[in-house]
Structure 1
């Protein structure tokens, strides 16, 4: 072998060694310590009548192929934080239906720079607890167990929405307390409001996005009536049939009237069940949802909601409406004050 050939091979060998030594060795994914324990087993467990519940059911959305990692939006985190911030003596439980969720947050999958700060924001509150929920175990031993196994729920055209409807009434039956939709912002303390209430959404319907029932007595009877109505009148082809229409029908039976105004003004007629007017939770109606995002409507919107306990921002219409951090729209102002950690963790857009 010629000296030139030997020298060439030697240089090639040295170059390969240099590449191997300096190459980045792939590191295994490191799992964050966010684990979801079973809602029925983990401590602390909900304190009957003094807990707040949110449900995350999007794992049943067949259109979404990226549901293997635990995920919340900044606005969902805002709802959770606002509830925890204003109600420090209530435990806040976020229940994830566990069909497709992994039990950890993997920082090497998805956009960790967005997700981890959001989880940090809510988990910085000692009264916030993330839990997983299995539908069949959760329904076992309740009036919904047999009905769930019959499968009508899973044939719904609006599966995600109707599972959410199913769970809100089942959770209130199990524990009582306060149920909140993920698209609310709590503005004031709600701990001291006497139990057994909901709010009017319009002149014809009550809403199911904010409901409170006592864990026993009359409140538990109302929850049982809601479960009975849910089964009896379930229709998977009608979006609102199994949510707001359930509590509306039950309230009509309790109050002996279909007149929402009469329900609001005569609590004795409703045997102590409180129907708040629209100003309490739904001061901005669904057809005016853009007012939350329009800086020119800031003063009007803040004035309209100045006595509200919470605002419902109508996520089904508004979820794709962007809010740049620092905006002067009403939603941004609510977030700055009532969910400051989520708002500042959101990134460029909330």
Structure 2
């Protein structure tokens, strides 16, 4: 015989349990929805504030529009940061790196054909017209938000010396909404500067590196331990000069004198004080005519001897190797400028150019150095690997060089 009271108690207990679970679920669901809404609101506000009030630049407020970042832009920027920071495994074998490279190949934006890459040739044709005093090129492989006031000073220096020049920045990250906002103050001053996502397949077509790049796109080459973007930047500057001609400058090179009088020139990084012969060249500044045979040799050397494990092998050491081989051959028609032209200070002494004079002797040294630079130097390479964290000291050599044309920056000594 069934105990009716026990059955009722059991049903009541079961009903209570189900009811409690249902109520608890609804409460948790409500909290979750509210929390997501609240967190998204905070995220949007923090994004807006961080870009509006925590910009990397110290522009005058009248010069730069307020930078408000949408969530979509923030997500895109985060993707760019992750993409551009792809670093091969440390202490891996060649085969292990190739396997890693094939697995990560889709994340390398440089190998993708997009709407922007398909537009590169036409955009370049329209921008680089006959009215350009000099065609300048730079590369930027970091996120757009990493471009700081220091780099803006460099861009300004180009136009201070060449007000009718044209500057094309080859960059996937700067060819964006945020990148356009960064460059707009310069454009508003009448300077012709643009960021364009490059199409390496187009630029390397009919060059010795075309087949090399095709194999890289298939993941069949060892990228090396050095981030591939750094090495592709070395190739990109050669390819764009070979295609269009003009002047390539690293974005840590302050121009102090017109470059328009130079043709087919490269600078010595270091020279023997006694013999006057160069011991190493550098590729931070390259000035060459379109289709110059030396550029062809540089590109050929890159594709034949590429080594992604040695810093400088595909850059400064590459141009040094090639010129050492061809400098006595006819028909190349180029000039190696002394180190004072582009590299008046060695990388391990660049700190002194940023220091504020602390006594009369140092002030006299600064004045004497500035006089020497005005006579012998076209620009100063800042060696960002060593100087990126240095502040520009008041009255320092760098401060004096840029103070007369700093239009957009509020305080160069905080650059």
- Does TM, normalized by the shorter one, top 0.5? yes
Find the partner of 1:104 among 174, 177, 188. 177
Asked if structure 2 preserves the Cα contact closer than 8 Å seen for 1:54 and 1:179, the reply is yes
Instruction: Find 2:147's aligned residue among 72, 79, 95.
Output: 72
Cα offset for 1:236?
A: 0.7
Larger displacement relative to structure 2 (195-204 or 80-89): 80-89
Please say if residues 294 and 332 of structure 2, whose CA atoms lie closer than 8 Å, have aligned partners that are also in contact.
Answer: no
In structure 2, the partner of 1:46 is 128
Partner of 1:349: 414
Equivalent position of 1:131 in the other structure: 196
Instruction: Tell me which of 300, 303, 314 is aligned to 1:231.
Output: 303
Aligned to 2:345: 284
Tell me which residue corresponds to 2:233.
164
Q: Normalising to structure 2: TM-score of the pair?
A: 0.61
1:138-177 matched pairs, under 5 angstroms: 138-151=203-216, 152=221, 154-177=223-246
- What is the rounded CA distance, in whole Å, between the counterparts of 2:295 and 2:175 in structure 1? 31
> Please, what is the CA RMSD of the aligned residues?
3.3
Deviation at 1:345, TM superposition (A): 4.5
> 1:251 is matched with which residue?
323
Distance in 2 (alpha carbons) for counterparts of 1:44 and 1:70: 27
TM-superposition CA deviations, 1:272-311 (whole Å, max 9, x none) = 3111111111111112111111122533532442221111
4+ long deviations beyond 6 Å: none
1:8 aligned partner: none
Unaligned segments of structure 2, at least 5 residues = 1-43, 49-67, 74-115, 272-278
User: Is residue 318 from structure 1 mapped to residue 387 from structure 2 by the alignment?
Assistant: yes
Counterpart contact for 2:207–2:296, Cα < 8 Å:
no
1:187 to 2:256 alignment: yes
Distance (whole Å) between structure 2 residues aligned to residue 278 and residue 347 of structure 1:
26
Aligned match for 1:198, one of 258, 263, 266? 266
* CA separation of 1:134 and 1:156: change in aligned 2, threshold 3 A: farther
C-alpha displacement of 1:222: 1.0
**In the alignment, is residue 294 of structure 1 matched against residue 355 of structure 2?**
yes
Structure having the larger proportion of residues in helix: 2
Give the deviation of 1:118 after TM superposition. 6.4
Q: Is the 8 A contact 1:210 1:281 kept in 2?
A: yes
The alignment status of 1:274 with 2:335, answered yes or no, reads: yes
Residue 330 of structure 1 deviates from its aligned partner by 1.3
Q: Choose from 157, 163, 186 the match for 1:121.
A: 186
The 3-state SS of whatever aligns with 2:407 is helix
Q: Report the number of matched residues.
A: 286
Q: Distance in 2 between matches of 1:302 and 1:153?
A: 46
- Whether contact under 8 Å (2:268, 2:339) holds in the other structure is yes
**Structure 1 CA distance for aligned equivalents of residues 231 and 139 of structure 2:** 12
Q: Can you list the C-alpha shifts for 1:88-113, whole angstroms capped at 9, x where unaligned?
A: 343111111x2x5672029xxxxxxx
**1:33-71 C-alpha deviation (Å, 9 max, x unpaired):** xxx89442215333599411111012xxxxxxxx3x555
In the alignment, structure 1 segments of 5+ residues that lack a partner are 1-25, 59-66, 107-114, 258-268
Contact persistence 2:350–2:383 (CA under 8 A) = yes
Aligned pair 1:328/2:395, yes or no?
A: yes
What SS does the corresponding residue of 1:212 show, helix, strand or coil? Answer: strand
Relative contact order: is structure 1 or structure 2 higher (C-alpha 8 Å, sep ≥ 6)? 1
Deviations 1:153-187 (A, max 9, x none): 74441433212211111111111110100001100
Aligned mates of 1:281, 1:348 — CA distance in 2? 23
